[in-house]
Amino acid sequence: MKARIVSSVVLAAAVMVGATGCNLISPQATTYHYDPSDGVGGNTGELAIRNVMLIETEVEGTYSVVFSVVNNSADTVDLNVHVQDGNSQAEDSVTVAPGINKFGDEDQDVLIFEDVDTKPGAIIPVFFQYGEKTGVELEVPVLDGTLPEYKHLVLSEREIAQATEVATPSAAPTSTSTATPDADAVTPELETADQ
């Protein structure tokens, strides 16, 4: 009788190890960071930058940057945004308050870059940095209004004109936003985001 109990326990243990043992050696997918949308994300200092996309407007060569920022500090900061296309670069900045901040969607601050040499479907480097913190470069997808979920993000000429007056960086594409560009921006160290 004891042999039967022992063999039942051994068999039950073998079935349990066989059914769950692979979890001991295979990595869990839930521990890997990934971007569940078309946008990409990264971190710089106390800022978590999420779901960054460059959206083509109705004006050729003009794009708006759509993204969210979670400011985990108690301070309001000016976040510098640099868009690199080929040999030229445009930069602007936005003010980021503590908590969740959204840019580029309806009824939100708009960050617009003009004369950007790219097309929908491309990937373009966009660099985010603030204060003395090391910045982060993200490989950002360029999208248009082809997909219905992004159609409302495509700005018209009128919406671009209403956003703000154009600031023209020297020897670079122009950019505009509802925030004032920071002329005293610090040249940041570069930290590439893990994709």
Q: What is the pLDDT of residues 64-80, one digit of tens each?
A: 999 999 999 999 999 99
DSSP-assigned beta bridge partners for residue 56? 63
What values do phi and psi take at 63, rounded to 5? -130, 145
Report field, pTM of the whole predicted structure over 0.95 = no
Domains of the chain: 2-31 (no CATH), 40-177 (2.60.40.3770)
pLDDT digits (tens, 9 = 90+) for 45-61: 999 999 999 999 999 88
- Identify which has the larger pLDDT, 174 or 153: 153
- Residue 92 — pLDDT band, cuts 50, 70, 90? very high
Can you point out the beta strands (E) in the chain? 40-44, 47-56, 63-71, 77-85, 88-96, 99-103, 111-113, 123-130, 136-143, 175-177
